[in-house]
Amino acid sequence: MFNIAEYIFKKMSKVRVRFAPSPTGFFHIGSARTALFNWLYARHTGGMFVLRIEDTDDERNRQEYLDVLEDGMRWLGLDWDEGPEVGGGYGPYFQSQRADIYRKYLDILRSKGRAYDKDGAVFFKVSGKKQVLHDAVYGDVERTEEKDFPIFRSNGTPVFHFVNVVDDICMEISHVIRGQDHLTNTNKHIELFEAFDAPVPQYAHIPLILKSQGQGKMSKRDRGALIEEYQQKLFLPEAVRNYLCLLGWNPKNDAEIMPIEEIIRLFDFRGIIKSNARFDERKMAHFNTEYLRALAPGKFDALARRRAQEAGIALPSDAKYVDSVFELCQPKTSNMETFPALVGYFFSDDYAFDDVALSKVQKKGDPAERLKLVRPIIEKVPFDHDSLYAALSELAEGRGEKPTDYFPAIRFAVSGQSGGADLFPMLEILGREKVLGRIDRAIERLQ
Partner RNA sequence: GUCCCCAUCGUCUAGCCCGGUUAGGACAUAAGAUUUUCAUUCUUACGACCAGGGUUCGAAUCCCUGUGGGGACGCCA
Single out the residue of 79, 81, 256, 354 in contact with RNA (rule: CB under 7 A). Answer: 256
Interaction mask 62-91, RNA, x per CB under 7 A: ------------------------------
- DSSP line for 189-225: HHHHHHHTTPPPPEEEEEPPEEPSSSSSB--TTSTT-
Pairing verdict, β 149-152 and 16-19: unpaired
28 scored as a contact of RNA (CB under 7 A): no
Q: Which is nearer to RNA, 221 or 282 (CB)?
A: 282
**152 sits in which H/E element:** strand 149-152
CA diameter of the chain: 102
Q: How far apart are CA 105 and CA 419, in angstroms?
A: 67
155 scored as a contact of RNA (CB under 7 A): yes
447 scored as a contact of RNA (CB under 7 A): no
264 scored as a contact of RNA (CB under 7 A): no
Q: How far apart are CA 288 and CA 303, in angstroms?
A: 13
139 scored as a contact of RNA (CB under 7 A): yes
Single out the residue of 50, 192, 225, 421 in contact with RNA (rule: CB under 7 A). Answer: 421
Residues 6+ apart with CB under 8 A from 103: none
Applying CB under 7 A, what is the total number of residues that bind RNA? 71
Q: Which is nearer to RNA, 46 or 91 (CB)?
A: 91
104 scored as a contact of RNA (CB under 7 A): no
Q: Which is nearer to RNA, 15 or 121 (CB)?
A: 121
Contacting RNA within 351-410 (CB under 7 A): 385-386, 389, 403-404, 407-408
Closest contact distance (angstroms) between CB of 75 and RNA is: 21
Residues 6+ apart with CB under 8 A from 98: 92, 163, 167
Closest contact distance (angstroms) between CB of 1 and RNA is: 27
Closest contact distance (angstroms) between CB of 294 and RNA is: 11
Residues 6+ apart with CB under 8 A from 360: 408, 418
Q: Which is nearer to RNA, 8 or 352 (CB)?
A: 352
Torsion of CA 52, 87, 175, 185, to 10 degrees: 20
Q: Which is nearer to RNA, 16 or 52 (CB)?
A: 52
Single out the residue of 128, 259, 419, 437 in contact with RNA (rule: CB under 7 A). Answer: 419
Closest contact distance (angstroms) between CB of 4 and RNA is: 30
| Residue 41 buriedness (CB in 10 A; 0-12 / 13-18 / 19+) | buried
Torsion of CA 394, 397, 403, 405, to 10 degrees: -140
